[in-house]
Amino acid sequence: MNASVRPLSHAPLALPARTIALAEGDGIGPEITAAVVSILRAVDPALEFDRVAVGLKAYRAGASSGFGSDVMEAIARHGVILKGPVTTPQGGGYKSVNVSLRKTLGLYANLRPCAAFHPFVATRNPGMDVVIVRENEEDTYAGIEHRQSDEVYQCLKLITRPGCERIARYAFEYAVANGRSNVTAVHKANIMKLTDGLFLESCRRVAADYEGRVGFQDRIVDNMCMQLVQKPETYDMLVAPNLYGDIISDLAAGLVGGLGIAPGANIGEAAAVFEEVHGSAPKYAGQDRANPTALILSGALLLRHIGETEAGASVEAAVRDVIGEGRVMTADLGGSAGTRAYGQAVAARVQALRAAA
Ligand code: NAD
């Protein structure tokens, strides 16, 4: 077990009946989704799933964007969707479903926890347990570009005070709700004094509201990268504008062992999408070989998001226990278990944790 992981209590769960939208996606999506459904049912037998199609299946049924109005209606009804990976066709077809959903639903926060599974998933950073909150809509990703002349092209970096305050507040609220003690703002305000300066100033202002509950510090992004590589275990939560957040979250995922175990969430005011960071890995589709951990941990994030913090913690603890024992692991982690057997082992462990509570 990772020594840095916080102790969890497993008080009996008494969850209200709850329905979440569920899209299995393409490639390995159906297999890893089936594993997650069995685990979520183990933690809460009353959980209902409203199944919708995204990706190739939806496209072939006539949804030119890769998802139809039924998906938007289901998300509006339930507020949350658990989404498997979607294949993005090359040279035609639909645009990235993930980007379209993010824009349509105003998903302003990207949440990426990166925790080591030492010693069972290879990493040089056994104590690393960082949650990254990335602003998802602004910065150079606003898509405002100009061609000034044939020789000069320009991309605008858009940073707004409401956008900065909202992402900073989300990070601090997450820290409070999930027992995190410190938030680090990542920026380059020494060079971009207005845009990154506004981001830093906004983070400082929001941090003042949490003084005494959550600590605050800031780091310049280049220094942040070096520190993440050298001593990641000293960081708890990071909050960053879009571009820096995009880069450091992949850096951090690599430091804890790669995509197979990296969960994610995109959060908006009225809706949230929970999904693994990896893609549809078509070469493993239908082979009972894919690692469902990233989507399982995304399901745990979903439970935390809907206020079922204890249930989410139980799922995370079960994953850590099963991987920690090193007996039932998928091939990418050096084991020989299939997707189904690994999912069953985690579901059984969730049930055992609940029974022992
Ligand atoms: P990928 O993440 O699907 O796969 C890259 C490699 O990582 C695979 O070949 C496999 O070796 C490994 N891998 C990934 N997930 C794994 C898992 N759960 N278990 C075991 N091994 C795993 O990336 P790609 O091959 O570049 O993309 C494939 C498709 O997925 C593309 O169409 C791409 O557009 C799409 N994609 C979707 C998402 C998403 O929906 N969130 C994200 C990234 C890529």
Please indicate, yes or no, if residue 153 is contained in any of the structural domains. yes
Answer yes or no: is the C-beta of 85 below 6 A from any ligand 1 atom: yes
**CA of 261 relative to ligand 1 center, distance in Å:** 12
Q: Does 10 share its domain with 91? A: yes
How far, in Å, CA of 264 to CA of 82, rounded? Answer: 10
How far, in Å, CA of 163 to CA of 165, rounded? Answer: 6
Give per-residue pLDDT as tens, 187-240: 999 999 999 999 999 999 999 999 999 999 999 999 999 999 999 999 999 999
Q: How far is CA 281 from the centre of its chain?
A: 18
Supply the pLDDT for residue 354.
83
Q: Does 247 share its domain with 269? A: no
Q: Which residues pair with 135 in a beta bridge?
A: 109
Supply the pLDDT for residue 17.
59
Supply the pLDDT for residue 7.
34
Q: Does 222 share its domain with 133? A: yes
Q: Does 54 share its domain with 83? A: yes
* Domain boundary residue, one of 203, 238, 256: 256
pTM of the model: 0.89
Please indicate, yes or no, if residue 119 is contained in any of the structural domains. no
Q: Does 269 share its domain with 243? A: no
Q: Does 312 share its domain with 197? A: no
Please indicate, yes or no, if residue 134 is contained in any of the structural domains. yes
Please indicate, yes or no, if residue 6 is contained in any of the structural domains. yes
**CA of 247 relative to ligand 1 center, distance in Å:** 18
* Domain boundary residue, one of 256, 285, 319: 256
Please indicate, yes or no, if residue 117 is contained in any of the structural domains. no
Supply the pLDDT for residue 134.
97
Q: Does 188 share its domain with 269? A: no
CATH number at residue 227: 3.40.718.10
Supply the pLDDT for residue 12.
37
Which residues of the chain fall below pLDDT 70?
A: 1-17
Answer yes or no: is the C-beta of 291 below 6 A from any ligand 1 atom: yes
Please indicate, yes or no, if residue 118 is contained in any of the structural domains. no
Supply the pLDDT for residue 263.
94
Supply the pLDDT for residue 124.
80
* Domain boundary residue, one of 230, 256, 282: 256
Q: Does 252 share its domain with 131? A: yes
Looking at this protein, which amino acid is placed at residue 353? L
Q: How far is CA 190 from the centre of its chain?
A: 29
Q: Does 290 share its domain with 243? A: no
Mutation pick for ligand 1 pocket among 275, 280, 283, 329 (CB with most ligand atoms within 8 Å):
280
| Six token digits for residue 309 | 């913090």
Q: Are 54 and 86 in contact (CB under 8 A)?
A: yes
Q: Does 76 share its domain with 152? A: no
Give per-residue pLDDT as tens, 83-105: 999 998 887 778 888 888 988 99
Supply the pLDDT for residue 76.
92
Q: Does 96 share its domain with 143? A: no
Please indicate, yes or no, if residue 33 is contained in any of the structural domains. yes
How far, in Å, CA of 167 to CA of 220, rounded? Answer: 18
Q: Does 281 share its domain with 242? A: no
Please indicate, yes or no, if residue 186 is contained in any of the structural domains. yes
Best CA proximity match to 115, nearest among 107, 106, 125: 125
**CA of 106 relative to ligand 1 center, distance in Å:** 25
Exposure string (b/e) for 104-118, b if CB count within 10 Å is 16 or more?
Answer: ebebbbbbbbbbbbb
Answer yes or no: is the C-beta of 281 below 6 A from any ligand 1 atom: yes
Residues annotated as part of the active site: 141, 188, 222, 246
Q: Are 240 and 221 in contact (CB under 8 A)?
A: yes
Q: Please give the tally of structural domains in the chain.
A: 2
Looking at this protein, which amino acid is placed at residue 252? A
Mutation pick for ligand 1 pocket among 94, 259, 273 (CB with most ligand atoms within 8 Å):
259
The residue range of the domain holding 224 is: 124-256
